[in-house]
Structure 1
């Protein structure tokens, strides 16, 4: 089953899902897929078309998935999107007083995106999906405020917006009256968030906050690369490149090896996903275009490794197999202030040596 189908099922049961994974594992793509499936009701059919030479000229088209989820049966479905950042405020998510610009001036009560999504979900025969990207890049605890407990599945209102014994209320400023009111969430509000676990520049999310989410982790998916580039995976590495597929084969295998070592050295959440080879496309099907393509990808891969092991030339050299005679990198001992230091040096990385570099990594025995 595809990731989007699993996530839709989790959303239907848990209401709040947190998409996790290393950079480049396709979190943004999956969120877009889930959003489209939610809007389409998860069962949009393709139009049948004529297939030349087939035993059945116009074959039937099966349902793309068998999902019959209550959330997808609602007549009115709407997706809301936002991204957390350092300047995100509680008023941006729920409600709050903000300046009103213009000839009159003064203040108004802002309706945040979580408030608007919930109000839509409370309407008859409606469901709302709120997508929050980069959840850990903003002040998530401050942004959700008193709603942290209320977002839990078993703390919501009843299906008809009735108050249940377990319903959790919290106070907000009512945009209509301007006074403080008790507020709760609809069971037809679904929240899908995403975060990059490898972000060393941001603080970890609060454990109590994390408990309110059903996590779903994406791993690097190398099969996607072979499918996109119309290749068949093979355990035999080409020692020379006769065509573009040889170049891609060695580069993809090198990424696998690098991720294996990163998982050992730093942890699996710091690996690099298949997206490093999917953000752009080769100019054409030639060997030269393939070499240029993987050369550009190497700049991203090396920057990622360098960030993870900043200042540790030995670890970086080990991961990229600098000791290989094929590698343009080299670990060199130098004397500094009476001590022996090991630094990583390299020749220019070009299309002339990029294949050998990837091969030295992919073909290593350890």
Structure 2
């Protein structure tokens, strides 16, 4: 069962799903696939396939999933999308006073995206999916405000949008007249959010807030890389660079080893996903293009390592296997102000030494 189907089932039962995982594990891609399946009633367009002798691929066809979910049976389904950031406000999600532009000036009550999604879900035979990217990059607690408890699956309205004994109400400004009214969420509103646990630049989310979500973890998927680059993972790590396949093989093995060590040094949530090798494509199938591609990918890998172990030259040096005969990195002990300091140095990483660097990392015992 793929991630898309699992998440749709979780959304159907829990209403709120939080997609978590290391950077590059495909959170944005999965959210897009869930949105597509939600709109298409659980189906997904398969990739067009070519029929020999014809000039163009045959049209893509919908692939049924066999899902029997109430939300996918609604005649009217709509996806709402937003991204949290430092300037996100409660009024952007629910309602609030904003200036009225134009010659007349004045103020109006804004209808935020969570409010609009819920109002759509309240309509007859309708369902709404709200997608929130970068949930932990903005002030999530302030943005949701009094609706934090009300989003829980057992605190929603009945299917006909009447109050249930356990329905949780909270106050908002009514966009129609500005008066404070009690408000609750429809059971046909589904919220899918994503966050990057490894982002050291943002604070962790409140535990009470996290309890309102069903978490779903994405892990680095190396099989995707081996398949995408046509590499047989059962073959030994190449010791010489003879083909483009050798470059891709040693690079993917190096990513696996790097993540293995990151799990030990920082934790599994700080790994780097397969997206580091999928965000761009090699120019062609030549070995020179493969080496250039691998060099560019390394800059992203190393930036991630530096962020995780900022100021810790010894740990960074260990990860890149500094002082290995193959590695362009060197860890030196230098004297400064009465103390001995470990300093990591390196020549430029380019197509001339990138294969050896990946081999130094991938071929180490530990």
CA offsets 1:11-30 (integer angstroms, 9 cap, x no match): 00000000000110100000
CA pair 197-49 structure 1, distance change in 2 beyond 3 A? closer
In 2: Cα distance, 1:136 partner to 1:121 partner:
25
Shift of 1:51: 5.0
Residue by residue over 1:38-90, the C-alpha shift from the partner in whole angstroms, topping out at 9 and shown as x without a partner, is: 0111135669978559xxxx9xx894411121111100000000000010000
- Calculate the aligned-residue CA RMSD, in Å: 1.7
- Corresponding residue number in structure 1 for 2:219: 219
Aligned to 1:88: 88
Q: Which residue in the other structure is 2:291 paired with?
A: 291
Q: Give the aligned partner of residue 359 of structure 2.
A: 359
Q: Partner of 1:160: helix, strand, or coil?
A: coil
What CA distance in whole angstroms lies between the structure 1 residues aligned with 2:84 and 2:47? 38
2:77 paired residue number? 77
Instruction: Work out the CA distance in 1 between the residues paired with 2:287 and 2:18.
Output: 41
The equivalent residue for 1:152 is 152
Q: How many Å separate the matches in 2 of 1:302 and 1:42?
A: 39
Aligned residue number for residue 97 of structure 2: 97
Aligned to 1:138: 138
Q: Is the 8 Å Cα contact of residues 45 and 64 (structure 1) preserved in structure 2?
A: no
Aligned to 1:113: 113
What CA distance in whole angstroms lies between the structure 1 residues aligned with 2:182 and 2:235? Answer: 61
Runs of 4+ aligned structure 1 residues displaced above 6 Å come to 47-50
Which residue does the alignment assign to 1:259? 259
Residue aligning to 2:23: 23
Say whether the 8 Å CA contact 2:150–2:170 is kept in structure 1: yes
Counterpart position of 1:346: 346
**Structure 1 counterpart SS, 2:108:** strand
2:191 paired with 1:197: no
Contact 1:248/1:294 (8 A) holds in 2: yes
Residue aligned with 1:13, SS? helix
Instruction: Note if 1:233 corresponds to 2:219.
Output: no
Q: Within 2, Cα distance between the matches of 1:176 and 1:39? A: 30
TM-score normalised by structure 2 residue count:
0.95
Structure 2 distance, partners of 1:240, 1:68, is 52
Hey, what does 1:43 align to over in structure 2? Answer: 43
| Counterparts in 2 of 1:310 and 1:269: CA distance versus 1, 3 Å | same
SS of structure 2 residue aligned to 1:10: helix
Using the TM superposition, give the Cα deviation of residue 232 of structure 1 relative to its aligned residue in structure 2, in angstroms: 2.3
What is the DSSP-based 3-state SS (H/G/I as helix, E as strand, rest coil) of the residue aligned with 1:114?
Answer: helix
Q: TM-score, normalised by structure 1?
A: 0.95
**DSSP 3-state at the match of 1:72:** helix
1-structure distance, mates of 2:311, 2:144: 38
Q: 1:308 to 1:44 in 2, by over 3 A?
A: closer
* Post-superposition offset of 1:233: 1.4
- The SS at the match of 2:349 is coil
Structure 1 gaps, min length 5: none
Is the Cα contact below 8 Å between 2:95 and 2:111 reproduced in 1?
A: yes
Q: 1:350 to 1:52 in 2, by over 3 A?
A: closer
Quote the offset at 1:234 in angstroms.
Answer: 2.1
For residue 202 of structure 1, give the secondary structure of its aligned residue in structure 2: coil
CA distance in 1, matches of 2:124, 2:62: 31
